[in-house]
Homo-oligomer: A and B are copies of this chain.
Amino acid sequence: MTQKHLFLLLLSLCCSFPIVAQEALWDNTAIISPQINPDHSVTFRVPAHKAWKVELTGDFLPPSTVNTPDGPQPAPGRVEMNEEQFGIWTYTTQPLEPELYSYFLRIDGQPALDLSNVYVNRDVSTLANIFIITHAKGDRGSLYSVNEVPHGNLEHVWYDSPTLKMQRRMTIYTPPGYDKGRRYPVLYLLHGAGGDEEAWITLGRTTQILDNLIAEGKAKPMIVVMPNGNMDSQAAPGAWSKGMYKPDFQRSLTPYKPVATMDESFPDIVKYVESHYKVVADKQHRAVCGLSMGGGHSFAIANRYPQMFDYIGLFSAAMRIGGAYQTDSFYNKLTASNDICQQIDRLFAAHPKLYWIGIGRDDFLYEVNKDYRRYLDEKGYKYTYVETDGGHIWRNWRIYLTTFAQLIFN
């Protein structure tokens, strides 16, 4: 044993938790899971020596169906793993297409993470392991990976929102070379319900997508501002004074009653960004887009401030009329709302350079967005429409960001 090895052994004996892993029958440090194979299949290995059944659930498996109070619903695929060696459960997928994938385990029915894989994303209150499949430079997996390219910086920033009467947190990406002095356009990128100012970074891979698109010359260098769209919170769970609460779609536990909407309070964000960052502060150099609730926020913000943005993107947008999210009859409700129709008239009279709508064919908001397109078509308002496979999922939102980011500031 060399002196270095002795030192490392002593160190690992002193760290509180590694020792417990080492004490286990199964030396966790020797297990590689997931293992990405040369043919782009993936092998998972889970130590569970007393388990009767170990299952793998992941968005790379053929979808399954679950029963709910509202009838059968599609669910992520789920397969049984095999106990190939005693106590080590294994499963190897088919070769996978380039993508960022999520998964978790069920050990005797109990949800569990693959603890051999330290890469874990939180989606609202659910943790899942992730991995990325890349076949070749420039494919989707490569775009979501950290590559040997110049990197932008990422900042967690606190700003004052006089409209909401609180300090709030947002995440800001500045492109490579930002310190060299020139001024940049700004993309405001909004998250969905249950998300926060970290969602586009962790689940959305925004840093990697922008770094890679900029390096390939496919997107203009830009600042990306990711605010928190929950008017009853200062920041992501755990990042503000409410402490380590359990995230929830409902969020009924927060001490704040919202005193303004996202669109009403949005100028606080723009004001902070334009006074603290090297930006070009005009309509041609501002874009706003968002997913789901954030798509609805983008809709409302663009409507309220028709002179603010030349680029507007609605990703699987959940739009509100009269304060309520619309899940059906959107065309009728929209045409019955004079205020919003007039706002849309004013917005298109200001000739935005791009009004972009993207949605998945299986999205529960598909009909709402179809109704909205019918309205825009009847008015003769120009927009770009992209329809993809799949539903209301991050895979689509990463694709929409990748597409939208290449179309703006040109």
Contact = CB atoms under 8 A, between A and B. Distances in A.
B49 A50 contact: no
A75 interface: yes
B324 A238 contact: no
A192 to B, nearest CB: 8
Contacts of A48: 108, 110
A145 interface: yes
B154 A327 contact: no
Contacts of A192: 11
A104 B18 CA distance: 12
Contacts of A169: 151
A400 to B, nearest CB: 15
Contacts of A67: 23
Given A238-B119, A249-B11, A49 B6 contact: no
A93 interface: no
Contacts of A155: 153-156
Contacts of A151: 158, 167, 169
Interface string A203-221: 0000000000000000000
Nearest to A147: B241
A119 B244 CA distance: 7
A342 interface: no
A127 B383 CA distance: 46
B19 A75 contact: yes
A70 B11 CA distance: 13
A237 interface: yes
A240 B211 CA distance: 12
Interface in A280-332: 292, 318, 324-325, 327
A86 interface: no
A47 interface: yes
A85 interface: no
Contacts of A6: 327
B118 A237 contact: yes
A125 interface: yes
Interface in A247-295: 247-250, 276, 292
9 contacts: A24-B111, A48-B108, A51-B108, A111-B115, A112-B112, A115-B127, A146-B240, A147-B241, A179-B276
